[in-house]
Structure 1
Amino acid sequence: MSQNVITLYDVPSTASQPWLPNIWRIRLILNHKRLPYRTVWVEFTDIEQTLRAIRAPPTSFKSDNRPVYTLPVIVDPLRSRSNPTVLSNVNTIAEYLESAYPARPIFPEGSRALQSLFVHYIQEVFAKPLLPILVPLSHQRLPERSQAHFQNGAPVTYPQLTPAQREQAWRAVKDQFDFLASILDKNSGSDGDGVVAMGREISYADFALCSVLIWIARVAPHDGWPRVRQWNSGRWARVWERCKDCMDEY
């Protein structure tokens, strides 16, 4: 059975649940489309070697043209078990899954361009203020071997935020959540339920947002998620609930 289902490559952690937001985007799509899949766990140290071995395309290239390999990656034997489709880059994978498995769509007709802009905003603007808070916490959840990977085999240390700095960082995060809430409010009433990006139906844009919420909940369950879920009159808890059925593997 496992040879006939999609394989998703992810990074292990010391936590009981995966947390990487880009990979959660793909998990949410797979679960939404009810596609069986299995997970292969790859430590950061082994990513390039592993992905080269399965002939995964590089995610990007450095200035000297050296390839960069990152996760998520999927292997899909839909067309051929001996020559499966191997894809990297979260957005490329999302578009492939929509094309190969059109049932339960994530891109309503005519929405790809606007959704692409929304997802770019979530990744490049909305999530940026979270980095000084969540990156050190995420690093702590990696196995020791993966932790050492990020600085030539030596453990990485991150500056410790003072309580005042931490609160200032959370205020910057809230500014982004407040702005996004004001945008999503435009879908309230006759235009939609005011919760999901496309008005009423869940879509890829919602999965990009929810993957950030999952990241917060997984790595900051005591300080981060309890405050975020109350912001904007509980809007983000409602987004979580709309995506909750897609959080469990099909």
Structure 2
Amino acid sequence: MSRHHSSRSSYSTTPVIILYDTPGHSPQPWAPNVWRIRFILNYKRLRYRTQWVEFQNIEATLRSIKAPPSSVHSDGRPVYTLPIVVDPTRNPSRPEILSNPSNIAEYLETYYPARPVFPEGSRSLQSLFVHYIQEIFAKPLLPIMVPLSAHGLPERSQPPFYHSHISNPLPPGPQRELAWLSVKEQFDFLSSILDKNSLDGDGVCAMGHSVTYADFALCSVLLWIENMAPHDGWARVREWNGGRWIRLRDKCRDYMDVF
């Protein structure tokens, strides 16, 4: 899938952007919110490196670098999640430290405008599309994918993950099939919307012909399924809607490097 590179080791003495991610059971990154940012960095051809943080060390690590919380609990407690981006390239003495994938995407587009992921006039509509992907489209996946993601973490990282997330994968059988049916309903609906682009686009990309931020957000979910549920999940999804989702994944293939 992704291609891991060491060719950027020559930049070790030159400040580069740092992308914080958490490892899974395989060399392939899995976290969809982090993939969303990695796609942008690769698309914009920005120099960066990945800083791997074990799941149980995320909050302590982010506090240690004074990263802002990604959100706040209803009781006022800060929430620390990945991705985090540290950018020392613009001001090495005071690097920018950013949390929340939407904030990071806005920052990268503002300060590195070459090869835009928000074509002119599309920022608000794409932001709405990404909100839909995260808050509605992906919701039926959570009962399936969150437990699988827990099992996909290194064993040393699993206990705290279980304490804060769903701990038991759905067993094979009617309950699991009903869950996948709910997922397919969302894919079918989104496919019917993207079909409207077939009149003046390729029917795959959200903005017509070229990949943008919206496509990266959607493809990040596809990679999550492919990495954590390759046989039960991705084997289904890649066949849905006339192969639309494998075509989108192929459109994004050139931006799947992991540095």
Residue 93 (str. 1) matches residue 101 (str. 2): no
SS in structure 2 opposite 1:158? coil
Q: Deviations over 1:12-31 (max 9, x none)?
A: 11122010000000011111
Q: Match of 1:244? A: 253
Q: Unpaired runs of 5+ in structure 1?
A: none
Q: 1:167 aligns to what?
A: 177
| 3-state DSSP of counterpart to 2:19 | strand
- Partner in structure 2 of residue 158 of structure 1: 168
Instruction: Give the C-alpha shift of residue 141 in structure 1.
Output: 1.1
Give the AA of the match of 1:176: Q
Letter in 2 for 1:87: L
- Amino acid of the residue matched to residue 218 of structure 2? L
**Is 2:55 the counterpart of 1:44?**
yes
Instruction: Name 1:196's counterpart in structure 2.
Output: 205
Q: Which deviates more, 193-202 or 162-171? A: 162-171
Distance 1:202 1:162 in 2: 36
Q: Which amino acid aligns with 1:50?
A: T
Q: Which runs of 5+ in 2 are unaligned?
A: 1-10
Aligned counterparts of 1:63 and 1:128: Cα–Cα separation in 2: 20
The change in CA–CA distance for 1:166 and 1:48 in structure 2 (over 3 A counts) is: same
**Correspondences of 1:75-114 after superposition (within 5 Å):** 75-114=86-125
TM-score, with normalisation over the residues of structure 2? 0.91
Q: Distance in 2 between matches of 1:183 and 1:137?
A: 29
Q: What whole-Å deviation, never above 9, does each CA across 1:95-143 have from its counterpart, x for those lacking one?
A: 1011111111100111111111100110011111111111111101112
The residue identity in structure 1 corresponding to 2:251 is R
Match of 1:17 in 2: 28
1:177 aligns with: 187
The runs of at least 4 aligned residues of structure 1 exceeding 4 Å deviation read none
Q: Secondary structure at the match of 1:188?
A: helix
Q: Matches of 2:56 and 2:42 in 1, distance apart?
A: 28
Is 1:74 the counterpart of 2:85? The answer is yes
* Structure 1 residues 159 and 4: alpha-carbon distance in aligned structure 2, compared to 1, 3 A threshold: closer
SS at structure 2 position matched to 1:9: strand
Per-residue deviation, residues 131-160 of structure 1 (Å, max 9, x unmatched): 11111111011122321113569x974154
Q: Normalized against structure 1, the TM-score is what?
A: 0.94
Q: Deviations over 1:172-218 (max 9, x none)?
A: 111100000000000112x2111100011211000000000000100
Indicate yes or no: 2:230 matched with 1:221.
yes
1-structure distance, mates of 2:215, 2:162: 34
- Separation (CA, whole Å) in 2 of partners of 1:73 and 1:118: 22
Identity %: 66
1:130 and 2:122 correspond: no
The separation in 1 between residues aligned to 2:246 and 2:161, in whole angstroms, is 34
Distance 1:211 1:4, change over 3 A: same
> What are the Cα deviations for residues 209-245 of structure 1, in whole angstroms up to 9, with x where unaligned?
0000000100111121121111111100110111110
Following the alignment from structure 2 to structure 1, what is the Cα–Cα distance between the partners of residues 219 and 159? 29
* Aligned: 1:187 with 2:224: no
Tell me the equivalent position of 1:233: 242
Taking a change above 3 Å as real, the CA distance of residues 246 and 215 of structure 1, as seen in their structure-2 partners, is: same
8 Å CA contact retained: 1:148, 1:156: no
Contact 1:147 1:156 in 2 (8 A): no
